[in-house]
Structure 1
Amino acid sequence: MTAAPLDARLDPIADWLGGCARGDRSALKAIYDREGAALLGMATRILRRREVAEEVLQEAFVQIWRRAASFDPSLGSGRAWVFAVVRNRALNQLRDDRHVPVEDHDLEAYAAHDEATEDAFDRLAESEALKRCLSRLDPVRRKAVLLAYCLGLTHGEIAGRLGAPLGTVKAWIRRSLASLRTCMS
């Protein structure tokens, strides 16, 4: 069973993605105007370097423009799709840049964003299915999922942050995602 597509009034980004698929450049600009700052913030948290995050965001918007026709509203919201594109581009860049050292002060600033996981959860509308499904997860497992998908932390970083074994964190996230898929369908 698939979820019903969202009404464009509730998900304007889905409507704008449709515009992008039809070649409407103003639709891409509308997505950028609405979500650009949040997307840049997410990419910066993942990459820890703003200049690289800006490049990744630009590449992601090119990808959004080119692949907008592949967006399927029955699989999720337009906003989630756009954030997934940017997140995946940032994580790919991070994998490519593993040889770049991270300064201690960058790690301290990164740790300050730990509250962002709860903020992300709190910002979800009470009526939103994702919030309902996340609420059903054990709080520690929910935090692991949010750390991975809101802050872009690796399983190893999450294990260190939560003081749990790496294998346990991987199992929590895998099982939580399976639970979320079931709950959302």
Structure 2
Amino acid sequence: MDSLSEENMILADCLSKCALGDHQAFEKIYTLTSGKLNAIICGMVKDEALAHDILQQAYISIWRNSGSFNPEKGKAFTWILVVTRNRAIDQLRKLKRRPNTTELIDTLPDETAKADAGAKAMLLKRFLDPYLESLPSDMSKAIMLNVVHGLSSREIAETIGVSPNTVKSWVRRGLKKLRTQIDSTKLETLL
């Protein structure tokens, strides 16, 4: 008797024991088949995590349906392979039916967010303009770029042509001066 025939006899015996609820027989089936089945599924789905999920579903089906295996109709490994292959095909069909929305969501720009941010920036600029006129022009420009347009100190420094520390100082001193001039309740309602 060759090793394949012997393995099929062992698997057939284990399947009949599984039908009676024998957990050790199920472990033996898993030990004898999991490596081969995992390789087959990975070849079908090209995704190792999905292959593990499919294999788990297949073993649940094997456990539940082991009583339907008939050794007179075929080999035990072939029956196990068909159950596993069917689980993989079912999963592939589900994936094809389900639209892949995550890629679409990631690539579509959110126009409403831009419109809201643009409108808010415009209102903030209109509100701050009269107050910024009282500040030195570089300080006023730095505050406008930072507060209204959201640029970092480094980005502003590159735009104006000064060091980032100078920009931070201008923004900090300018905002401190503006706080004394602007009624905080007006600013809060705007923001």
Q: Taking structure 2 as the reference length, what is the TM-score of the superposition? A: 0.47
Report 1 or 2 for greater relative contact order, CA contacts < 8 Å, sequence distance ≥ 6: 1
Larger Rg: 2
Bigger helix share: 2
Q: Taking structure 1 as the reference length, what is the TM-score of the superposition? A: 0.48
